[in-house]
Amino acid sequence: MTTTTKIHPGHTDQARPRAHHPGLNLGPAHQESEDTREEMVFGFWVFMMSDLIVFGLLFATYVTMLGGTAGGPGPSDLFELKSAFIETMLLLISSFTFGMASLALKYRSDRKVLVAWLLVTLLLGLGFLAHELYDFHKMFTEGGVPSRSGFLSAFFSLVPLHGLHVIGACIWLIALLGQIAVHRLDPPTKTGLMRLAILWHFLDVVWIGIFSLVYLGGIV
């Protein structure tokens, strides 16, 4: 950073009070991150809401397609509650460990604890993905392919899209671990971690919807 005075175009009032964004705020100990976090984290919330609309549409499509099995395998033939439950637990625990990472980011100057929690989170995310892929593979062998029926098309639009998000979040997490190694915990890395946290918890929330509506609803 240079020491010259910078006036951002459009920011005439430099002394405006700092607004807090929803979720964990880093607080006054991280003053140097405060300048960027408000806009960046807020922007990410807006993106998250638009993403939620996509999932909302796919949920609605799935529900309307429930009866459209075209004589093929239906929910009770294809879904296993035990498997879905394990995936739910993996993702829920990963959300908890990411929460611990966020707390480590806020309260500890030592990077080791933060990185350790992030690695645990990454492993749980990858475990979830492996389990989900195994599930899909099993569905395929039982004739549950996307082209079989409207119901299966809707299923494979909704659930793997969530999985794709988890893959993206894992890649992002690895990239951020690299940024921590290269740049230490500078403000862009911190705001990056805060935005990834929002995505991670969001994916957890969407999965709760999938578990309740698709798996529990399908088996009951």
Partner 1 sequence: MLCLLIQLWVSVRDRHHNDVFVGDPWDGRSLEWATSSPPPEYNFPVIPEVFSRDAFMAEKEQGKAYQVPDEFPDIEMPANSAMGVIIAVTGTAMAFGLTWYMWWLVILSAMVTLVAIIARGYVRKTTRTIPGDEVRRTHLAWIECVRRTTPVDRSKEQTRENRGLPVPPVEGAVQ
Distance, CA of 103 to CA of 169 (rounded, Å): 19
Q: Please report how close the Cβ of residue 129 comes to partner 1 at its closest, in angstroms.
A: 17
List b or e across 79-112, with b for residues whose CB sees 16 or more CB atoms inside 10 angstroms.
beeeebeebbebbbbbbebbbbbbebbbeeeeee
Comparison of 78 and 165: residue with beta carbon closer to partner 1: 165
Please give the residue ranges that form the binding site for partner 1 (CB under 8 A). Answer: 2, 4-10, 12, 171, 175-176, 178-179, 182-183, 186, 188, 192
Comparison of 188 and 217: residue with beta carbon closer to partner 1: 188
| Cα radius of gyration (the chain) | 21
Q: Please report how close the Cβ of residue 193 comes to partner 1 at its closest, in angstroms.
A: 12
Cα distance from N-terminal residue to C-terminal residue, the chain: 59
Comparison of 2 and 141: residue with beta carbon closer to partner 1: 2
Distance, CA of 79 to CA of 106 (rounded, Å): 40
Q: Please report how close the Cβ of residue 58 comes to partner 1 at its closest, in angstroms.
A: 21
Q: Please report how close the Cβ of residue 167 comes to partner 1 at its closest, in angstroms.
A: 11
Comparison of 146 and 188: residue with beta carbon closer to partner 1: 188
Residue 160's identity, in one-letter code, is: P
